[in-house]
Amino acid sequence: MSIRTKLSRDFFARPTVEVAPDLLGITLVRKMPDGSEVRAPIVEVEAYTEDDPACHAYRGLTERCRVMFGPPGFSYVYFIYGMYFCLNVVTEGEGTPGAILIRALGAPGCDGPGKLCRQWEIDRSLNAVDLLDPNSAIYLEAGTKYSARQISITERIGLSVATERLWRFFVTDHPHVSGKRNKTRSKSVAKR
DNA sequence: TTTGCGATTCGG
DNA sequence: CGAATCGCAAAG
């Protein structure tokens, strides 16, 4: 029997590293600009906290990361590498910054933080929206919780600092987890 | 105001 | 492995 994750403001008002694995299995819903709607479960995330050198809020409040200091359960969308957007969920109580980067969804073409935002047309216009409000253009919905034994934990990806923190969580063996380039490579493997 | 680089992705 | 591509924030 599977456990249904109950969403509430308090669910996100917890330590970021505790919320992160609990986010796996929760459904992300996006009302597309053309009126259609897409939904998929979160299958890979990374945690970022106040005392974390890799966190945008590490050096205090700036215009970019201001939403991280606000109430939990809101979106934090930022622009990176001159061409991609990344979607986060704000955590911790109001006044304490914290966020969880959504790195992959259980949907085609959503295996990577930049790719899923491109696929679902998520940009800065969706920054600071309430993800607990079904009226938002993007929001979260209760989903099936994964047990601890189905979750893998590793170092975060793409960082130059704080690489030792094991704050990346993903559904073990899930086909849509990021970093799976060359999925079907059986040709050059034999070389040795 | 300038400058170096980034929570990425894709092609060669 | 490196280019693409530009906003952000630290440095000057």
Give the pLDDT band of residue A58 (cuts 50, 70, 90): very high
pLDDT (mean) for A172-184: 79
At A191 the pLDDT is: 30
Give the pLDDT band of residue A63 (cuts 50, 70, 90): very high
Could you give the C-alpha distances from A33 to A84, A125, A133, in angstroms and in order? 19, 12, 17
Which residue is it, tokens 């694995």? Answer: A21
Entry field: residues in chain A: 192
pLDDT (mean) for A134-154: 96
pLDDT at A30 over 90: yes
0.75 surpassed by pTM: yes
Q: Per DSSP, which regions of chain A are E strands?
A: 27-31, 37-49, 75-80, 84-90, 98-105, 138-141, 151-154, 168-171
Give the pLDDT band of residue A181 (cuts 50, 70, 90): low
Nucleic chain B contacts, Cβ below 7 Å: A 46, 48, 54-57, 65, 68, 76, 80-84, 86, 88, 99, 101, 112-116, 156-160, 178, 181
The predicted-structure confidence for A101-112, as pLDDT tens digits, reads as follows 999 999 999 999
Report strand pairing: A168-171 vs A37-49. antiparallel
Structure token digits, residue A181: 């380039």
pLDDT (mean) for A87-94: 98
Nearest protein residue by Cα to C1' of nucleotide C3: A81
Overall fold of domain A2-171: 3-methyladenine DNA Glycosylase; Chain A (3.10.300)
Residue A157: nearest nucleotide (C-alpha to C1'): B7
